[in-house]
Amino acid sequence: MSTKRQLPTAKQNLISFATKRTRRAQHLMKPKRTAEDYRVMGQEFSAIKSRNPKDAEATKENVRGIWRKWLK
């Protein structure tokens, strides 16, 4: 049971290339941020009270244990 794969025509290749290129170009275009945008983002970030996760102390203990093992 052999199935031969047909190669795309030149027109199909060109259409595929153009659609991929425009899709990629649209994906890469990001809106420019203004000073006002950065100010708002800074205010939102500073409004967050706790930046440490609940497991921070346990993680510190685990890291200390690993360092002790390595130093032996």
Q: Domain range for residue 43?
A: 10-71
Please state the domain count of the chain. 1
pLDDT attached to residue 60 = 76
pTM: 0.34
In a domain, 47, yes or no: yes
Q: Rounded to an integer, what distance in angstroms lies between the CA atom of residue 27 and that of residue 21?
A: 10
In a domain, 29, yes or no: yes
Q: Between 62 and 15, where is the model more confident?
A: 15
In a domain, 2, yes or no: no
pLDDT at 37 over 90: yes
Phi, psi values for residue 26, rounded to 5°: -70, -35
In a domain, 17, yes or no: yes
pLDDT at 35 over 70: yes
In a domain, 3, yes or no: no
